[in-house]
Structure 1
Amino acid sequence: MPAANEIKYSVVVPVYGNEGSVESVTRRLEEVALQLDGRLEVVFVIDGSPDRSGLVLEKVLPAATIDSQLVYHSRNFGSFAAIRSGLAVARGEMIGVMAADLQEPPELMLSFFETMATGEFDVVVGRRESRDDPALSSFLSRSFWNLYRRWIEPEIPRGGVDVFGCTRDVARQLLTLGESHSSLVGLLFWVGYRRAEVPYSRSRREQGKSGWTMHRRIRYLLDSVFSFTDLPISALTGIGAGGMALASIVVFVGWWTDRIAVGGYTPLMLTILLSTFSLLYGLGVVGSYVWRTYENSKGRPASIVMSNKVFDRALD
């Protein structure tokens, strides 16, 4: 239980190309702080931003009515690296994470903190009910998160996760998982804990341009696939086994029904096809061993103990 003068809530905000909105973010979070029962700090992480975002915050934050931290990355490492840097220095017992473009309302932090304050949940994610985005952007985002749900994490909300909150314990566990080329969202669901969803409507981006390009989406999806599933290996093994069976049946049936008139065609095709699919199958089997070695090299804990309740027998 934090003391009255200690920071109880933190909000981590990664910043890249948000010069036009960071001041508004600060003002709206100041209004959020007025409705909380404890001190709120905001941790801005300048992720190698090419604009004047850092200079604007250096001017705004000293006069703000909330506590704050301003963290600079040496270069652009990506929003998930920026979030990790923010989680590492956040001082609150409850921590929210949001973008600096105001597409997710800062007031959503109130709902996150209220939900966690009940003591029933450790992680809260925003569930996007609607979005005021251009048609192409909406289509690409829906397609991306649909693939993510199908291939990687079926429990993730249909609209994906762009904003979330967690307790300090959860943040500490996330920081112990020092994996590169992974997915922070995937790790957030991997660690488990008691999770809740809060619905919200996503607003249209008013300032700047999103850095969430198609290239970044594909890279992130691939990082997630290789970090959390054995889908490529399973597909390779399945193609090899299925291809061997299908090729054998097709060629044998063709020979049996006299549809193959060329002499020597049947043994030649069987040799080529069976050799090819045998190699694919073998690669799948070897890949399964490599996958398990890779999984062990990550150093993730075999399990996470969320709590440990002790009930001692009363002594007479």
Structure 2
Amino acid sequence: MKTFSIVVPVYGNAGSLPDLLARLKGLAGEINGQIEIVFVVDASPDDSYAVLTQLLPTFQLPTQLILHSKNFGSFAAIRTGMKHATGDYIAVMAADMQEPPELVIDFFRALATDEVDITVGRRVARNDPALSKWTSGVFWRLYRRYIFPEMPEGGVDIFACNRAVSDEVLALGESHSSLVGLLYWVGFRRTEIPYERQPREHGKSGWTAVKKIRYLLDSVFNFTDLPLTLLIAVGMLGGIFTLLFGIIVLIAYVTGGITEPGYAPLMLVILFSTFSILVALGIVGLYVWRAFENTKGRPDAIVRTKRDYRERVNR
């Protein structure tokens, strides 16, 4: 019989936990297999942990309750939950229920067919304030344009995967990285399931603008050499500009258009030095990037399946 784990990171969700448990209980009857819930309280500032310690002893589903020693962030909490999950298939969902918990059923059903390895929720609508919609839209447009173009337009807030994918992601063991980025980096077969994001009923989102910027920077510096490429491009374009401007300055100096002593050579030196430094920094940065890539310890390739027919042939 297949086993299913649902990982729920908890931070500032004390108000929504009773409703969440009720809805999770309702999911169990629709899943053909054993189900467990793994709660990871990321040192929540409210009494989320106390609420769970009070409610879980009488909860009718197998559960794990894990408490972080301090606030490490939602992605660290998800990673902790995935490490402790025992199911053949693992889903990750938020405790605020803005992503419908019932979406997990569709995830597990898709994974149980063994035709896909990863299922992600694709947000088709969101009942959020206008400013939140705009900032989120800008963030994910940049993310899709420069990091992972294949990611859904609204990003990924809820997903599920099989044990093979979970093991590969956890084996990477990278800090200051993007868990969703790693989920896309490992490859495998993916499918998207549409859903509508619901308004938050309890508490306040901890996904602040600062955290979004930090997340974007972690993704940029862990999955692309775009900044270095831009640096070299600026330096090369500046070099061309320097050459053209230098010719103009030299002609003006020779023809008497520049009479200030030392102006022409000073301008040429400044322009040439500035853009030469940019190109040099870009080249050195590419070597540093390659060294950084090697320190991550990511494999060169990941094998999804392997079939061995040698024994049959040798008979």
Deviation at 1:306, TM superposition (A): 1.1
Letter in 2 for 1:61: L
Cα deviation digits, residues 10-31 of structure 1 (max 9, x gap):
1000000000011211110111
Letter in 1 for 2:259: V
In structure 2, the residue matched to 1:299 is 297
Letter in 2 for 1:85: T
Q: How much identity, in percent, do the aligned residues show?
A: 54
After superposition, where does 1:40-79 map in structure 2 within 5 Å? 40-79=35-74
Between Structure 1 and Structure 2, how many residues are aligned? 311
Contact 1:260–1:266 (CA under 8 A) maintained in structure 2: no
Aligned pair 1:186/2:184, yes or no? Answer: no
Aligned pair 1:215/2:210, yes or no? Answer: yes
In structure 1, the residue matched to 2:258 is 261
Residues in 2 aligned to 1:196 and 1:259: alpha-carbon distance in whole angstroms: 69
Aligned pair 1:162/2:157, yes or no? Answer: yes
Alpha-carbon RMSD: 1.5
Deviation at 1:62, TM superposition (A): 1.6
Pair 142,260 (structure 1): closer, same or farther in 2 beyond 3 Å: farther
Deviation at 1:59, TM superposition (A): 1.6
Give SS of 1:9's match. strand
Corresponding residue to 1:284 among 282, 285, 300: 282
Corresponding residue to 2:221 among 209, 217, 226: 226
Residues in 2 aligned to 1:112 and 1:215: alpha-carbon distance in whole angstroms: 31
Pair 237,315 (structure 1): closer, same or farther in 2 beyond 3 Å: closer
Letter in 2 for 1:284: G
Aligned pair 1:130/2:99, yes or no? Answer: no
Give SS of 1:25's match. helix
Residues in 2 aligned to 1:172 and 1:22: alpha-carbon distance in whole angstroms: 29
Pair 269,207 (structure 1): closer, same or farther in 2 beyond 3 Å: same
In structure 1, the residue matched to 2:106 is 111
In structure 2, the residue matched to 1:271 is 269
Contact 2:258–2:264 (CA under 8 A) maintained in structure 1: no
Pair 12,259 (structure 1): closer, same or farther in 2 beyond 3 Å: farther
Residues in 2 aligned to 1:250 and 1:115: alpha-carbon distance in whole angstroms: 61
Letter in 2 for 1:125: V
Pair 51,256 (structure 1): closer, same or farther in 2 beyond 3 Å: same
Corresponding residue to 1:18 among 13, 22, 26: 13
Residues in 1 aligned to 2:287 and 2:125: alpha-carbon distance in whole angstroms: 43
After superposition, where does 1:31-46 map in structure 2 within 5 Å? 31-46=26-41
Give SS of 2:297's match. coil
Letter in 2 for 1:306: R
Residues in 2 aligned to 1:314 and 1:31: alpha-carbon distance in whole angstroms: 50
Deviation at 1:57, TM superposition (A): 1.0
Contact 2:220–2:226 (CA under 8 A) maintained in structure 1: yes
Pair 275,119 (structure 1): closer, same or farther in 2 beyond 3 Å: same
Deviation at 1:96, TM superposition (A): 0.4
Give SS of 2:14's match. coil
After superposition, where does 1:89-104 map in structure 2 within 5 Å? 89-104=84-99
Cα deviation digits, residues 108-164 of structure 1 (max 9, x gap):
000000111111100001000000000001111111011101111111100000000
Letter in 1 for 2:78: I
The runs of at least 4 aligned residues of structure 1 exceeding 6 Å deviation read none
Contact 1:14–1:79 (CA under 8 A) maintained in structure 2: yes
Residues in 2 aligned to 1:11 and 1:91: alpha-carbon distance in whole angstroms: 10
Give SS of 2:188's match. coil
Contact 1:252–1:266 (CA under 8 A) maintained in structure 2: no
Pair 315,298 (structure 1): closer, same or farther in 2 beyond 3 Å: closer
Give SS of 1:59's match. helix
Residues in 2 aligned to 1:53 and 1:196: alpha-carbon distance in whole angstroms: 33
Residues in 1 aligned to 2:294 and 2:257: alpha-carbon distance in whole angstroms: 50
Cα deviation digits, residues 80-104 of structure 1 (max 9, x gap):
0000000001011011000000100
Contact 1:123–1:193 (CA under 8 A) maintained in structure 2: yes
Cα deviation digits, residues 156-212 of structure 1 (max 9, x gap):
100000000000111111111111110001000000000000000000111101011
Residues in 1 aligned to 2:158 and 2:64: alpha-carbon distance in whole angstroms: 19
